[in-house]
Structure 1
Amino acid sequence: MKSLIKLLFLFGFVLVSSIDINAQVNDFTKNPDSTLFKSANVFGWVKFVDGLSINPKEFFTLNKKSFGLAAEYAMRLKLTQTDELGFTHYRYQETYAGKDISGGEFFIQVKNGSLFSGNGKIYTSSTIHNQNNISEENALAKALQFVGAQKYWWQDSLKENKLKAKTKNQSSTYFPKPDLCYYYVSGDQQLHLSYIILIQAFDPGKSGYVYIDAEDGKVLWWNPVEIATCDPTTVNTVWYGNQTVNGYTDFLTSGWDLEDACTSSTYKVFDYSTTFNDIFNSFNNQWNSPRQRSAATCLWSVRHTHDVYSSQLGRNGHDGNNGNLDIYFDYIFPGGSTYNASYHYDPIGDDEMNVGRGNDPVAIDDDFGALDILAHEFTHGVTQYTAQLIYEKEPGALNESFSDVMGKYVENKVFGSNNWLMGWDRIENGANHPFRSLASPQIYNQPDRYLGTMWVDASSNCTPVGDPTLPGYNDFCGVHTNSGVQNRMYYLLSSGGSGWTNDATSTATSATGVNPYTWTVSSIGIDKAGRIAYRALSYYLGSNSNYFDSRNAWVHAAADLYGECSFEAIQTGRAWYAVGLGPPAQSMTICNVNYGSTPYTLTTAKALIVSNNCTVNILPTGNLVAFKGSSIDFKPGFSSQSGSSFSSKADDECNYATY
């Protein structure tokens, strides 16, 4: 939830054509190399010509010109993954003069040994700011001045000693070490040499990466990160009746700690209200007091989230590598609030989850330890180790939405059913008190259509302000509001539905919304929808992905899992269309080209047009050439020679499944 304190949710719609694209992002797509790319769009989504092989380490070196990369630019292979469907995924980091470009990433997918598709963001700039006039010490001083925390982790002996023990290195420290990278400033569309500095602080909301311009010392960007023996016992949980929770034998106290070390990931619950954040301890492994029941419910929720990710999706812990989580119950958030829950990334030690007690100092049923809430926080951890969606604007809204989506997926897998209200289990003043509705986001002031009613400006005009105590606070440009669009899409994909966008009832000019239209989505069920969501997040999104990228990622994932133009892929596209993001809305015109030297399929979401006075030949090679589109318009000049193999198909349904 990152910030459940302010929960405004809006639904809105805007046409795909209105998405801003910086002129020097993915320049190579403006005139794509037809020997390498079958299709490419300005958002950086490409399909490769059939039958091409790849040398992963040399791929970008051999194809620099095709990707518009000048001599000083390079792409470094940083991760290789093979998934359960047999796809191999290569993740590359863009560099300039040997230094990383923040947000410059490209992902290559290989199927059956051949290049299949790719996506990402490649930055180029005609002007490079590479002067380094600031020392590391000066950059760190400016970063600390910007953060302004009261106390930092390296100032605390408990934190430092825990880190040294975990790393088995007495030199390990949380004291920041500035590194140099390049940061792309969208305002001037230029690369700036900058220091990237990770600051870890005790103050809530004060931990994150600070980017300092190495030329003039200005802050360019702030990226927050706050995001054994098993002894089972029965606990009367806060909301879910009697459940099994694992304790851990503490040989020092001859009691039990509230620690679940029964799988490769270890989860511990600490009492944040104590002076030294002591782990919850019981002399008899019984957790019966109100505080113990609340803390044990947190442990139960996190463990069951882990188990769903493991058994259903094959993921080993939130980080995919059996990582541990330290859970701090009764956490104090900004301004002394206990009304929240959060995930906190720690790249050196164990990651953390912070859980508030709610507003009632006595009752425990308004705590934030409910299953869907902590599954939401757990998924922030999954995002941190996969797409790494930055926590602002559209990437931040997607970050929040994926957590809501997987929160409901986990709830369904644990109980066999789910509602569509986040935080429904919590009770305030004798009634359930949810925060968001995935089915009807507008109830909680969220949009249900991209860029439509209630959408918060997330364009370059918005300066993210995430501290609610500061003037101009906007929740990092609406991350908890604009998340409603993907939430609504997920609900429709899982459950089905039909209607008009923006609650319109006709195309009359008096109807609600901009350019209202009807839509219909057939249910594929929450199981398939959840698997598609997880695959999209894990393999097809990067740190700066936007809503258009997410739409394509979901459709791509659905096609991977269930087949190109499958029922599931079509309904995924239909669900996105229902919230205002249809397939790439570009007609394609072809002219003066020969096809047939290799098997080739040309697909577009709209019309495919052979222009007047153009020559388009299908060569008599026997290789199948296929044209697909909502309509196909042949003009004089087209020829399919004797001995060629050619097919054309106008298919509106399959167009929903294009990306």
Structure 2
Amino acid sequence: MKKVLSTSLIAGVLLVPQLVGAAELKSGTLTKPSNEAPTTIVKEYAKAKGEFKTLESKRDKVGQVVKLQQTVDGVPVFGGIVVGVVDNDGQLKTVVDDTKQLKGLHKSIKLNEQKAVARYKELVGHKGAYELEPAAELVVYPNGEEAVYAYEVTGTILDADEPSRWTYFIDAASGKVLNKYNQLAHAKPTNGVTGTTYTGTGIDVLGQSQTFKTTKSGSYYYLQDSTRGKGIYTYDAKNRTTLPGSLWADVDNVLNTTYDRAAVSAHVNATKTYDFFKNTYGRNSYDNNGAALNSTVHYSRSYNNAFWDGSKMVYGDGDGQTFTYLSGALDVVAHELSHAVTEYTAGLIYQNESGAINEAVSDIFGTVAEYSVGSNFDWLVGEDIYTPGIAGDGLRSMSNPAANGDPDHYSVRYTGTQDNGGVHINSGIVNKAAYLLASGGSHYGVSVQGIGVMEMGDIYYRALTVYLTPTSNFSSLRQAVVQSAKDLHGATSTQAVAAAKSFDAVGIN
């Protein structure tokens, strides 16, 4: 059985169609100098491809980054994105064109939003309450060689045996399911307390002493850190499945019992992850707007997994053999929170190659976060909480994916329908490329000069937040990473050459 930690806990045989058309990246001097606004420059460049609305316009160290959404009469085209980078002279220097073909599109809509939601509930078959009620959005969906109007419908279920967040694409004319995949997102808002900030102490899952911020309200100290963003909160599910549970409360601000350890680790590792993204990339929480980081520990009984549902991390205690308390690993916490960063930036679809990139990016930033704290660094994922009785193993190996049965080269990639089209399996190919870029080495006869872990992370962060789009494939990732290396270090730099070589080594052209 495949060992996974992911945004999606249920991976079965799904519909996994490929969206037609791969993103095209162009760089150079693409337009003449202009005094127009950057959004106008990018829209003018893209206008031959159709209508667009602005999703984002932000300045970074390279220029003004503009992200556009392709539309038809105001309806968004699923996955249809254009990204442009405009320099200080008003010249378009780089553009990613991921617009979609709309062949055969005609407006035939027989379902309204309410009927689409009813259809979704029928298909999902859940009889209980939803943590987040299903919501439908009308989109233009590229369906093979054609395009149709469809409803994108998503709901969150947390009171079942396995939590889930299914997204369905339902044909707006026929009610037919065009595609579906499972990911978790958006749960209850934070219910914090008002009080005074103190410093608590405790022992974590690994037996290490920790200090952390708490909030005193009345007679209790709560695991609420109000000094970072909109807060870091840790809850206790008390071995039940009702979420988020109770905000963790303690009478003396000393958390040294065995039961406390999972909470200490969750609170401290969420803090470290927040600080990692803030101090390394200037990112204020996963949404870059200070969103609260919520964690729930002691979920269910002997639960051998952890998941991110869009507003909180949820950790099982493990069964003591396959896993111990899952909040104990910094790279696991950072992995899951990186899924949230991906959702708020590139929005990589959680299936096929885009899903494998999504998973690999989380492994990469989990590993870079672990490196950044300066202790216990390795290229294994989840080694601190996986098989506590066996030393030296992990969920996945980035340096040697084949050790865990994962492919390390595109020629041996998984092409089946299990695991959402191989999102965890094929992530090994990207993980190997990232490892080679950071550490160097030879693979399949290609030698790569390592540039260091933190520089590798900088390049992948820029690729994720600037150039990747929802339907990016492995070839798109190569273009994004190489262009990011050029942006940060120069077109002929050691870093840019190494980035290209790292993808050569794993067979991604």
Normalising to structure 1: TM-score of the pair?
0.69
Q: CA deviation at 1:294?
A: 1.2
Tell me if 1:259 matches 2:203.
no
* Distance change in 2, residues 1:60/1:234 (3 Å): closer
Q: Distance in 1 between matches of 2:112 and 2:104?
A: 23
Q: Distance in 2 between matches of 1:62 and 1:301?
A: 45
Q: Distance in 2 between matches of 1:358 and 1:151?
A: 26
Q: Is the 8 A contact 1:485 1:579 kept in 2?
A: yes
Partner of 2:250: 282
* Distance change in 2, residues 1:406/1:283 (3 Å): same
Q: Distance in 2 between matches of 1:178 and 1:285?
A: 45
1:343 maps to amino acid: W
Tell me if 1:207 matches 2:188.
no
Q: Is the 8 A contact 1:340 1:368 kept in 2?
A: no
- Root-mean-square deviation over aligned CA pairs: 2.5
* Distance change in 2, residues 1:196/1:367 (3 Å): closer
* Distance change in 2, residues 1:223/1:324 (3 Å): farther
Q: Distance in 2 between matches of 1:425 and 1:4?
A: 21
Q: Distance in 2 between matches of 1:312 and 1:90?
A: 22
Q: Secondary structure at the match of 1:431?
A: coil
2:70 maps to amino acid: E
Q: CA deviation at 1:137?
A: 2.6
Partner of 2:214: 247
* Distance change in 2, residues 1:56/1:417 (3 Å): same
Tell me if 1:442 matches 2:402.
yes
Counterpart mapping for 1:32-51 below 5 A: 43-47=23-27, 48-49=29-30, 51=32
Q: CA deviation at 1:130?
A: 1.6
* Distance change in 2, residues 1:316/1:63 (3 Å): closer
Structure 2: unaligned runs, 5 residues or longer: 12-16, 186-194
Q: Is the 8 A contact 1:128 1:190 kept in 2?
A: yes
Q: 1:341 aligns with which of 306, 311, 314?
A: 306
* Distance change in 2, residues 1:6/1:520 (3 Å): farther
Q: Is the 8 A contact 2:82 2:97 kept in 1?
A: yes
1:79 maps to amino acid: E
Partner of 2:146: 190
Q: CA deviation at 1:490?
A: 1.0
Q: Distance in 1 between matches of 2:500 and 2:207?
A: 36
Tell me if 1:498 matches 2:475.
no
Q: Distance in 2 between matches of 1:120 and 1:337?
A: 46
Q: Distance in 1 between matches of 2:346 and 2:62?
A: 20
Q: Distance in 2 between matches of 1:295 and 1:21?
A: 41
C-alpha deviations, 1:27-69, integer Å up to 9, x for none? xxxxxxxxxxxxxxx641123535343544544664566x4x3
Q: Distance in 2 between matches of 1:61 and 1:406?
A: 32
* Distance change in 2, residues 1:94/1:4 (3 Å): closer
Q: 2:425 aligns with which of 481, 485, 490?
A: 481
Q: Is the 8 A contact 1:379 1:406 kept in 2?
A: yes
C-alpha deviations, 1:149-196, integer Å up to 9, x for none? 243346xxxxxxxxxxxxxxxxxxx5444332211112xx11111122
Partner of 2:447: 520
Tell me if 1:237 matches 2:204.
yes
Q: CA deviation at 1:222?
A: 2.4
Q: CA deviation at 1:218?
A: 1.0
Partner of 1:126: 103
Q: 1:92 aligns with which of 64, 68, 83?
A: 68
C-alpha deviations, 1:490-513, integer Å up to 9, x for none? 1111111124x2xxxxxxxxxxxx
Q: Is the 8 A contact 1:421 1:435 kept in 2?
A: yes
Q: Distance in 1 between matches of 2:54 and 2:9?
A: 40
1:2 maps to amino acid: S
Tell me if 1:218 matches 2:176.
yes
Q: Secondary structure at the match of 1:178?
A: strand
Q: Distance in 1 between matches of 2:121 and 2:10?
A: 27
* Distance change in 2, residues 1:560/1:417 (3 Å): farther
Partner of 1:371: 330
Normalising to structure 2: TM-score of the pair?
0.88
* Distance change in 2, residues 1:3/1:131 (3 Å): closer
Counterpart mapping for 1:161-180 below 5 A: 174-180=132-138
Structure 1: unaligned runs, 5 residues or longer: 8-19, 26-41, 155-173, 346-350, 463-473, 502-517, 583-659
